[in-house]
Amino acid sequence: MSRLTVFADAAPGTPIFTSTDAGEIARELNAVGVRFERWESPVALSFDDTPETILAAYRPYLDGLMGETGAGSADVVKLTPDHPQAQAMREKFLAEHIHTEDEVRFFAEGAGNFVLHLNDKIYDARCEKGDLISVPAGTKHWFDAGDKPSFVAVRVFTDTSGWVAHFTGDDISNRFPAVV
């Protein structure tokens, strides 16, 4: 179930807001410039489908989204607990970073947490199958799919070089609860 938990960045153990209602999650995130939507879709895929099959199935949604954002490409990222680089990839995503373009993700399967550091608050957005999140360029954040990551996400890019992180060097992600 999708969930948003908000903390003061100085109080990692005390949530100041929690909701599993998609409308409330969208309102809270939209208020800080983050796009969150639930895509109700008749698309039925399996975790084992190829990236090409996944992109083709979501093409009508992607065409609209890419037209809105000016994005030029989309790809699919899959991560499973048995992936040989799963823990190394998790560690890379766990460090607070920013991007020079919006980070747009649609979860086709599984789940992961986008954790945003905005206005002295931490917004922990648990995204699951059917969720779209767009984190604005320059937003400090990290991503955690847990110690047994299992997700398939469609990524949308404007910059053709793909996912490029600029790490902040702040260890704040170490002070907040990790996904297990």
Residues with pLDDT less than 50, the chain? none
pLDDT of 62-77, one tens digit each?
Answer: 888 877 776 678 889 9
Residue with tokens 């607990």: 81
Q: What pLDDT, on the 0 to 100 scale, is given for residue 162?
A: 64
Spell out the domains of the chain, with CATH numbers in brackets: 3-166 (2.60.120.10)
Q: Which residues contact 134 (CB under 8 A, 6 or more apart)?
A: 34, 35, 36, 69, 102, 103, 104, 105
Q: Which residues contact 17 (CB under 8 A, 6 or more apart)?
A: 4, 5, 6, 28
Identify whether the C-beta of residue 144 lies closer than 8 Å to the C-beta of residue 179: yes
Q: What pLDDT, on the 0 to 100 scale, is given for residue 180?
A: 59
Q: What pLDDT, on the 0 to 100 scale, is given for residue 161?
A: 64
Q: What pLDDT, on the 0 to 100 scale, is given for residue 11?
A: 92
Q: What pLDDT, on the 0 to 100 scale, is given for residue 45?
A: 87
